[in-house]
């Protein structure tokens, strides 16, 4: 009887260990590209566009059809397919074979990009973003969010220490610009705050030349597209256990402003006041009727058995900036 009990205990322990291991098994974390995005509640929140990676074409089933109508698209993505701690720019191998999806490029006016998804994963968490802004008929998606999915091994509130501070560092990225991300959680109060940067946001020449802001007067006359950096503050907000099993911040307030470019050259605005004025032009040119109001806010979840990582996004930004993915680890 004692021997059988010991065997049972050993079996339970083995099963528990297997379940714990599977919690960080990326094979179990798949994103279904046929389903509506859980973080994009707009009508146009579905995934769009396909790409080829590792000899496999990924995308929603409506994106690509082979000869004789045979589907060649894998409609789910297992994030363990992609190497960790690296930003993956998923590109369509053949744009003509990609549902004629047209993508606006922040880098050069009038140029389109072949990137359709941007993917970043860590050990316990990952972000999948859908870059597509235009439908196959050339019309714009309305109120479409950049980040489509954040997944991971959710941290339980009880597993966080009662005191101290967790500090996270990682990356922030949009359709094209990317930068740094920092966040910290005060474990006694269970409140978090942070910041992010984006490098090389393009401001069209016409916007600068036509500006009436006196802080841009010295930047006029060059008649070329200019680059600024962007700085964002993620305001302090409570870390809350949500009904869906996630732990983190939902709709925390954010503040975003222009920042001087750190690179030198005629195409960069290196004066702080001018960079802030240029960002105000970006805000002023925002198409509210298509993308909604400029109202920066962020959602961020805590991941890992003991809060090792965080991942989320910033929305409500001007359409030239788009949504911002934020992801980092301790």
Domain finish residue from 121, 152, 183: 152
Residues 120 and 219 grouped into a single domain: no
Would the pLDDT of 94 be above 70? no
Would the pLDDT of 16 be above 70? no
- pLDDT tens by residue, 223-262: 999 999 999 999 999 999 999 899 999 999 999 999 999 9
Residues 317 and 191 grouped into a single domain: yes
Which of 165, 191, 188, 169 shows the shortest CA–CA distance to 180? 169
Structural domain containing residue 297: 158-330
Domain finish residue from 88, 121, 152: 152
Residues 100 and 186 grouped into a single domain: no
Range of lowest pLDDT (170-174, 175-179, 314-318)? 175-179
Residues 162 and 44 grouped into a single domain: no
Structure tokens at 32: 């279904």
Residues 134 and 282 grouped into a single domain: no
CATH number at residue 272: 2.40.160.90
Is 107 or 145 the better-scoring residue by pLDDT? 145
Query: What pLDDT score was predicted for residue 291?
Result: 83
Query: What pLDDT score was predicted for residue 12?
Result: 35
Which of the residue ranges 11-20, 131-140, 225-234 has the most confident prediction, judged by mean pLDDT? 225-234
Query: What pLDDT score was predicted for residue 22?
Result: 35
Write the CA distances from 273 to 58, 65, 172, 213, 238, integer angstroms.
44, 51, 23, 10, 33
Residues 196 and 320 grouped into a single domain: yes
Would the pLDDT of 193 be above 90? yes
Do the beta carbons of residue 150 and residue 178 sit within 8 Å?
Answer: no
What is the total count of domains within the chain?
2
Would the pLDDT of 17 be above 50? no
Range of lowest pLDDT (27-31, 50-54, 212-216, 312-316)? 27-31
Strands of the chain, DSSP E = 30-32, 51-53, 56-58, 73-74, 76-78, 88-91, 115-121, 125-130, 147-152, 165-173, 178-186, 191-203, 226-238, 240-241, 247-259, 297-303, 309-315, 324-329
Burial zone of 117 (CB within 10 Å; 0-12 exposed, 13-18 middle, 19+ buried) = buried
In a domain, 6, yes or no: no
pLDDT category of residue 15 using cuts at 50, 70 and 90 = very low
Residues 55 and 201 grouped into a single domain: no
- pLDDT tens by residue, 78-92: 888 888 999 998 876
**Rounded distance between C-alpha atoms, residue 209 and residue 161, angstroms:** 54
Domain finish residue from 152, 185, 213: 152
Structure tokens at 251: 């709709």
Query: What pLDDT score was predicted for residue 98?
Result: 52
Residues 179 and 163 grouped into a single domain: yes
In a domain, 303, yes or no: yes
Do the beta carbons of residue 212 and residue 282 sit within 8 Å?
Answer: no
In a domain, 110, yes or no: yes
Which of the residue ranges 43-57, 86-100, 195-209 has the most confident prediction, judged by mean pLDDT? 195-209
The percentage of residues in the chain with a pLDDT greater than 70, rounded to a whole number, is 81
Residues 131 and 180 grouped into a single domain: no
């Amino acid at each position: 009887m004692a021997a059988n009990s010991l065997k049972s205990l050993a079996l339970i322990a083995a099963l528990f260990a297997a379940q714990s291991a599977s919690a960080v098994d990326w094979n179990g974390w798949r994103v279904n590209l046929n389903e509506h995005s859980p973080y994009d509640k707009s009508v146009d929140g579905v995934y769009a566009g396909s790409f080829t990676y590792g000899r496999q074409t990924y995308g929603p089933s409506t994106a690509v059809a082979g000869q004789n109508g045979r589907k060649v698209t894998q409609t789910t993505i297992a994030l363990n397919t992609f190497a960790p701690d690296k930003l993956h720019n998923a590109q369509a191998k053949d744009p003509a074979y990609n549902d004629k999806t047209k993508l606006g490029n922040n880098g050069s006016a009038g140029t389109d990009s072949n990137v359709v998804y941007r993917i970043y994963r860590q050990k316990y968490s990952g972000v999948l973003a859908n870059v597509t802004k235009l439908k196959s008929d050339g019309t714009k998606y309305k109120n479409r969010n950049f980040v489509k999915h954040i997944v991971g091994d959710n941290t339980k509130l009880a597993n966080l220490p009662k005191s101290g501070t967790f500090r996270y560092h990682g990356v922030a990225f949009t359709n094209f610009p990317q930068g740094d991300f920092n966040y910290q959680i005060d474990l006694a109060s269970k409140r978090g705050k942070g910041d992010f940067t984006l490098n090389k946001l393009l401001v069209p020449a016409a916007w600068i030349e036509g500006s009436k802001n006196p802080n841009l007067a010295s930047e006029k006359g060059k008649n070329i597209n200019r680059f600024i950096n962007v700085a964002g503050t993620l305001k302090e907000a409570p870390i809350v256990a949500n009904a869906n099993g996630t732990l983190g911040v939902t709709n925390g307030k954010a503040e975003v402003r222009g920042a001087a470019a750190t690179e030198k050259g005629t195409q960069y605005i290196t004066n702080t006041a001018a960079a802030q004025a240029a960002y105000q032009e970006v805000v002023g040119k925002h198409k509210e009727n298509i993308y909604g109001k400029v109202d920066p806010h962020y959602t961020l979840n805590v991941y890992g058995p003991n809060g090792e990582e965080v991942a989320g996004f910033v929305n409500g930004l001007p359409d030239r900036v788009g949504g911002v993915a934020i992801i980092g680890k301790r």
